[in-house]
Structures are given as C-alpha cells and as structure tokens.
Structure 1
Amino acid sequence: MMKSGRKWRNWSGLVSATPRTVLYPLHIEEVAEAVGLCRREGRTLRVVGSGHSFTAVAASDDVFVSLDRMQGILQVDKEACTATVWAGTKLRMLGELLYSEGMAQENLGDIDVQSIAGAISTGTHGTGLTFGNISTQVIGLTVVTGTGEVLDVTETSHPELFRALQISLGALGIIVQVTLRLRPSYKLKYESARVPLSDCLQRLDELARNHRNFEFYWFPYAEPCQLKMMNETEEPVVPDKLAGYLSDLVLENGVFGALSGLCRWVPPLSAPVSRLCAAVVPTASKVGLSHRVYATKRLVRFNEMEYNLPAEAMESVIREMREQMERGNYRVHFPIECRFAKGDPIWLSPAYDRDSAYIAIHMYRGMPHERYFADMERIFLRHGGRPHWGKLHSLKAAELRKAYPMWDKFQECRRQLDPDGIFLTPYLRDLFEV
C-alpha cells in the first residue's frame, strides 16, 4: 500500500485525480483484501491502467488499484489456441509473450500501451469487417466482485454476467485474469496510399471487403486522404530501421508535433497545416509480425471523440461532417480516423447487434475542442451513433438506454456484483444516474 497525495493525469492531461491511497497488489487475494477494506470503510475503488481513456472513467480521489505487478502469461493451450493472462498485462508485452509461444491475437488496435483488462473494459477495437472488438476474443474472466468474491466467468458458466463483463467500464468488479481465444502467429503486410477522399468514398465497400484490415484518415479542409491496408503474407520480415524511424518518429511525431504546437499558438494556421499534412501522406509498405505492425507510436498528445455507427452510414456521415466543417470554420488540423468492425452480442459494446463503422475525431492537447466535438457528435447521433466508452462524449443514462438495448440488464448485473457501489466514482454515478 502507498499513501498518495500526488496528482494523477490521464494520457492527454484532460482528466486528473488525487487518490488518497494507491495499491499495487501482487496476488488475487490482495485484490480481494482491498475490496473488503473499501467495503468495511465505505470507500470507493478504481483500477487505473495506462490512462489512455479520455473520459474520467478511471479517475478517483479515493483508492486507486494498479495491476502493473500482475502481468504475464499464466497458461497457454496451443492445441486449443487459448491463453490465460494476468489482467494487468500491457498489450505490447502480451504480443511479445504470445509470439514466443507461437501465438497471436487475431486483431488489435493501433495503441499497445493499454493493459488487456483496460482495453476490453472500454471496448477497444481495431479495424476489419470480419473482426469484432478485442472483447470478442475473450472466452473467460476471473473477477473480484464488490463483495470480495472471486468469480470465474465464461459464456457457459454465467452467460449473462459474461456478456456484461466483456465490456463493463470496471463497474462490475476487478478483472484479474483473462482467457483469450488466439491463433498461430502471423505476419502482415502494411501498405499506405494517398488518394482523393472522393475516390476513397466511391470505393469504400471494395476497399473494406478486399483487405483484411482497412482504415483511412481524411484531413479537414483537404482533398487527399490516407489509405491504410493490412493483409496476411508469407513474405519475409525485412528490417528497415532507418526508414521506420524517420517515418514514425521524425515525420509523424516530430514534425507533426512541431506543426501542432504552431497551430496552438496561431490557430488560423490549422487549415493550411491540415492541407500540408494531407499532401505529404506517405506511400509505403512494410512486412512485420502482426502485433508489431498493428501498433503505431503516438507521441503527439490529443483529446478524442469516437462514435460507432451502422457500417452503411460511413459515407453519408463523412459528407455531412465535411459540410459542417466548411460552415463551422473549426481550428483543427488532426485527421479523422475511419475504421470498421463486425457486430457482436456484448451488452455494452458500441457494435452490439450491428456491423459497424467507427469515426474518431481529434484535437491537439491544449486547443479548444468543445464546439468541434459537440457539432460532430450531433451528426453522429442523427445516424444512430453510440459512443466509444474510452472517448469523450456528452450522453447520459437516458440517451444511453435508448442506444444500448441491454442497458437495464447491465445495470441489474452491476447491482448484483457491486451492491454497495464500491466501484462507482462520481463519473460513473453520473453516467448511470445512480
């Protein structure tokens, strides 16, 4: 246990907290003891991971629990293609550990610093029409509930709790172990191309269906956009350290970071900088191990809103967004990220019961984002949008109940597993209207 008066901030710096106590358990028993202590003393508890959520979902001024000392693989079943891992395991470490066993996750997002529990609890996803979010890879969970009970949950043993726990915002208990469905390790060929956005939208269905993983970035006030395509390959991995360093660190992070700082000081430069970035989109390819190719370095910090939409709404939403950007004259230079995902049966999944498009908007840290985000959110909501739980949004329980058909069933499970509200922070109480 460590007493703490130190301020904690999330990755973007937008959210802060000053926890009274920070705990670093080593074993499940210590997690259960922490829950018991909070229950006896009427305190609240939150698990904090890497701070990559842009909302206050992880913030608490009472007790923080970090699972950073509970990392690694517990068991691998190569015949069944499964592995059980500690919930605090960071995705970057997990990818390397699984590779050493000849295994890999079937799909990942482009950030690999989160813990596996944090990634699944907020609905983190990658892209690809045939792949769900990371939570769909989960086949078993061990969780410490709000009463201190340790539960092993699978779709067979506890079907309703399992659907609630796959994406739970940490409101049902502390996930301590995760069992994942895996596949043998594989390589991906990544290709980047620059095309006019109008061409991309005309070919959207073809591009999404003809590539294992497809996403695109389009730039405010500019016509060129970046296509990113990944497909499995047997081509050899060719190290290209210098070119990769120049692209990832110098161009995408170093130069872009400098331009972002300039836009913060002189906001009218945002549109010209956006057009400049669109004009120099790289056309390149590389081959690497899957978990390494998915990951992208993110050194330039920002705030983000991301909404899930029906897959067929992608094109019309983007056209509305472009029209609104011309009217709104926003000071924004960050590109808009567009991805796809397969529908799933998880109760609080933004992709619940529908194949989906995801559209994410960003604003450089320190630049005002409120008007831009609010206007884009109105467009998303007109098309049936559901917010990503780790990204900024304005919805409360009344709107969320309409967007998520299993909202009330989830709340029933929450009250069952956490009857004293130990895991309810002010943010979650406001979100759930408790």
Structure 2
Amino acid sequence: MAQEFRNWSGSISCTPATIAAPKSVKQLRTVVTRAASRGATVRPVGSGHSSTPIFSTADVLLSLDKLTGMTEVDAEAGWAKVLPGTGLRDLGEQLAQHGLAMENLGDVDYQSIAGAVSTGTHGSGITLGNLSSTVLGGLLVNGRGVEMPFGLDAGVPREDLDADQLLRAVQVSLGSLGVLTSLTLRVEEAHHLHRLNWITHIDWVLENYAELVSTNRSMDFYWYPRSDLAQVRTLNKPGDEPELTPRGEPYSELKKDVTGPNYEIIPNDRMLRFEEMEYMLPFDPELTAFRYVRERVKSAHRAEVGWRVLVRTIAPDHAMLSNTEAEYRRGAPSMTIALLQNNTLPFQRYFDDVEPLFWRFEGRPHWGKKHRLKGPELAALYPQWDSFQAIRKTLDPEAVYMNDYLRELFGEEM
C-alpha cells in the first residue's frame, strides 16, 4: 500500500509507489538500476526540511537514513569522510570525539548532511561559506547505477569529465546528478563559541549593521514586524568578542549568554514549524533591500505576519549552482533575507508580494525554500548554468533523478 510522505512544515506531500531505505551502497545501486530499467524515477530525500517539492515523486523515494556515520578522518590534513544520511547534530558530536568541528552550521541541525549540502544550506558570517563549500570530494551513484568518485576522491579523473567542474557541480546539485554515498568534508579544530542574543530596536541595528558584520565572527538578526524590535545574535570564539553591543539602549535586553561547542551553540531549537522564503542578495552594509522589505511588510502585511524576518551573511564560493557563487557576485559576499511564517497561518500572498523586491536586487532564491522562479529566469542568474546541465545529462542521461519540479527549475518541462 502506497505511503504518503510529507515535508517538515507540512505544506508539501507526495505518495511514492515505493519508499526505499537501503542499508548499503550495493542495495542503493540495485534500487537505482531496477528503477532505471523500467523507466521509473528516483528522488533522494533527507530529513524533508525543504519547503519545495524537490523530493516529490510518484515512483521511488530514496531515504538515506540507514547510511549514517563517519567512516574516516584525518585530523592533521583537516578532512573527514561522512555517510550521506548523517544528521548534522550527530556529525558535530562525532567530529568532537576527534577534536574537530565543522567551520559553520545553519540555523537548525535536524537536517542530514547530504540534504543540507545539496540545497546550499548556510549559516551566517561574512567570512564563512555555506556547508557546500566545505565539500572536498566524495562518491555518488549516477543515473546508470554506477558509483563514481569526485573531487579529492577521484584519483585519476575521467577524460570526459573535468575534475574541478564535476566537484563544483556536485557541491550544490539538488540531487539531480546522482545519490551521494560519501562526502569528504573540510573540517577544522574543535572550538567553543560564545553566543549573545540581544533584543533591541531595529533602528539600532540599522545604524550599526556594518560594524556588527565586520567585527563579529558570525552575526545575524531577526526583525519582528509587529513590535519593530530586533533580536541580534553574535557568535565569537571566547575572548574575541568586540565591544559593540546594544547594552543601555532603549528597549535593549540580553536574552541569552551561553558558551559551548560550536555544534551545540550555533543551531536554534525550532519547536514551531514554519514556511520560509529566502533570497541571497549582494552584501549591502546599508541594508537597502531590507529597508524596502520592512516598509512593505509594515504597510501591507503586518496584521497577518506571525513571525519574523531573518538577515544573514555568507562568504562567496565556487559551486556552479550555489546562490552565493563568486562569479555572479563578482567575488563579493552575499547577504540573505528570509521571510518566516508559522505553518498554521497563510503565507502565499505575503511571499508573492514581497518576492519581486528581491528580484530588484539581483536576488537568487534558496533552493530548499519557497520561490516562484523557473528555468529561464534562473539560467540568467547562474553563469555556469549550461555547464551544470551538460554534466547532469552526462551523469544521468535517462533522467532517472528528475521530477516535474526539477524539470520546471531546469526549463525542461515535458
């Protein structure tokens, strides 16, 4: 009997003919080759945190939940090999046992590493890249069911695939090149972070934003539309904290002051589920785009917005489909603006109304969050778009890993 699969927020569901959860790469390859032989499709899924139908399929939904753990580590060289279904929280604990840590993490830690990497998940910090930028190599099962290496794991590259291009394609691939079976990640020495969360008025943030970004290892803020207050979060290694805080400012209150391992301190606890739209924009210390968003929300959506707007920064990288890819940004960092709305409240009118503001500022959408862009618009935003599509068709010539949503994204509607 077919079983429904629903994403984390509850807004997207599908009823695959089969939900496969292989315990080995051999079993995984069998799933793929059998599906390909009968003209079926396969979509890998992680924790289901994506707010888009990226996982949706009526054929085979492939869970990687049984392929977890760290298989090899070289602390001196600064890398670790990880299986694709490993949760970010578990990965943090496993790396800590070897005195190592990820460079940065996202807002939550209940995602799998393969899902987080494949959609360009990120944290905040103008010198810190997204999780995909830490991928040095690995293995994937392509559309023919063949496990193939990439990046550092490739050894002697194939003549028909440029090694550097293949790595940059896999780093953010939306699961369209194949199923990741191993990831070799760049890691660093384990470290503690000191986290401060301040409530203050948004005007203080606007006045001091450039200094906050440049003097903190990681800084982000939430703006609360109904109160016009903001929650500023800074993360620094103990002893490296700058002096600038909103202490003594009107409305200011210290809400959190904690220190601990980075994998425990960075993520937030998310008891409430939500829908989200997020765009990556050129970094602007004046927060011009945010000011437009703020005015639009206050004038048209304040009564219906139950949650907040999140602003973060990310260093540039070189993945072909990364929304912080350096060539399009001319080597500059990015800032992100995310609209969050409780999943029990209406979100479509709100998101649809604000989204064109992001387009005005050369925004590129987060692959795992709500947006309306499709193939032609997206192709114009990614200088390496055609190169990625060529690699995709080489690795998956029969489109085993495609679904209707990806065809829309890539401009290949049937």
Could you tell me how far 1:280 is from its partner in structure 2? 9.1
Alignment partner, residue 6 of structure 2? 9
Could you tell me how far 1:223 is from its partner in structure 2? 2.6
Does residue 161 (structure 1) correspond to residue 157 (structure 2)? The answer is: no
State the AA in 2 paired with 1:223: D
Q: Which one of 234, 237, 245 corresponds to residue 232 of structure 1?
A: 237
State the AA in 1 paired with 2:217: R
Could you tell me how far 1:367 is from its partner in structure 2? 1.5
Taking structure 2 as the reference length, the TM-score comes to 0.91
* Percent identity of equivalent pairs: 39
Comparing 327-336 with 45-54, greater Cα deviation is found at 327-336
Work out the CA distance in 1 between the residues paired with 2:92 and 2:30: 31
Cα deviation digits, residues 139-186 of structure 1 (max 9, x gap): 012000001111110067411111110000000000010001111110
**Partners of 1:313 and 1:383 within 8 A in 2:** no
Does residue 285 (structure 1) correspond to residue 282 (structure 2)? The answer is: no
Work out the CA distance in 2 between the residues paired with 1:30 and 1:234: 49
Alignment partner, residue 102 of structure 2? 105
Structure 2: gaps (5+ residues): 158-162, 241-249
The structure where helix makes up a greater share of residues is 1
Cα deviation digits, residues 58-104 of structure 1 (max 9, x gap): 11121011111110010011111111010110101100011111110
SS at match of 1:175: strand
Could you tell me how far 1:281 is from its partner in structure 2? 6.6
SS at match of 2:26: helix
Work out the CA distance in 1 between the residues paired with 2:168 and 2:411: 21
Cα deviation digits, residues 296-332 of structure 1 (max 9, x gap): 1111011000000001176111111122123313410
Work out the CA distance in 1 between the residues paired with 2:267 and 2:97: 18
Q: Which one of 9, 14, 37 corresponds to residue 40 of structure 1?
A: 37
Does residue 382 (structure 1) correspond to residue 354 (structure 2)? The answer is: no
Work out the CA distance in 2 between the residues paired with 1:195 and 1:351: 29
**Partners of 2:210 and 2:286 within 8 A in 1:** no
State the AA in 1 paired with 2:284: E
Does residue 184 (structure 1) correspond to residue 189 (structure 2)? The answer is: yes
Work out the CA distance in 2 between the residues paired with 1:69 and 1:329: 43
Structure 1: gaps (5+ residues): 236-277
Does residue 148 (structure 1) correspond to residue 145 (structure 2)? The answer is: yes
Work out the CA distance in 1 between the residues paired with 2:317 and 2:12: 30
Aligned length: 389
Taking structure 1 as the reference length, the TM-score comes to 0.87
SS at match of 2:380: helix
Comparing 80-89 with 310-319, greater Cα deviation is found at 310-319
**Partners of 1:11 and 1:52 within 8 A in 2:** yes
Q: How does 1:79-98 map to 2 (within 5 A)?
A: 79-98=76-95
Alignment partner, residue 289 of structure 2? 317
Q: How does 1:303-314 map to 2 (within 5 A)?
A: 303-312=275-284
Does residue 299 (structure 1) correspond to residue 304 (structure 2)? The answer is: no
Alignment partner, residue 200 of structure 2? 195
**Partners of 1:103 and 1:183 within 8 A in 2:** yes
Work out the CA distance in 2 between the residues paired with 1:100 and 1:365: 37
Alignment partner, residue 68 of structure 1? 65
Comparing 410-419 with 322-331, greater Cα deviation is found at 322-331
Q: Which one of 411, 418, 421 corresponds to residue 396 of structure 2?
A: 418
Work out the CA distance in 1 between the residues paired with 2:399 and 2:259: 48
**Partners of 2:198 and 2:252 within 8 A in 1:** no
State the AA in 2 paired with 1:142: L
Comparing 310-319 with 46-55, greater Cα deviation is found at 310-319
**Partners of 2:301 and 2:350 within 8 A in 1:** no
**Partners of 1:313 and 1:357 within 8 A in 2:** no
RMSD over aligned Cα atoms: 1.7
Q: Which one of 168, 175, 179 corresponds to residue 174 of structure 1?
A: 179
Does residue 358 (structure 1) correspond to residue 304 (structure 2)? The answer is: no
**Partners of 1:153 and 1:161 within 8 A in 2:** yes
> Residues 279 and 49 (structure 1 numbering): CA distance in 2 closer, same or farther, change over 3 Å?
farther
> Residues 130 and 6 (structure 1 numbering): CA distance in 2 closer, same or farther, change over 3 Å?
same
Q: Which one of 88, 112, 133 corresponds to residue 136 of structure 1?
A: 133
State the AA in 2 paired with 1:10: N
Cα deviation digits, residues 366-410 of structure 1 (max 9, x gap): 321111101211100000000000000000001001111111111
Work out the CA distance in 2 between the residues paired with 1:9 and 1:430: 21
Does residue 405 (structure 1) correspond to residue 377 (structure 2)? The answer is: no
Comparing 328-337 with 419-428, greater Cα deviation is found at 328-337
Q: How does 1:331-342 map to 2 (within 5 A)?
A: 331-342=304-315
Could you tell me how far 1:333 is from its partner in structure 2? 2.3
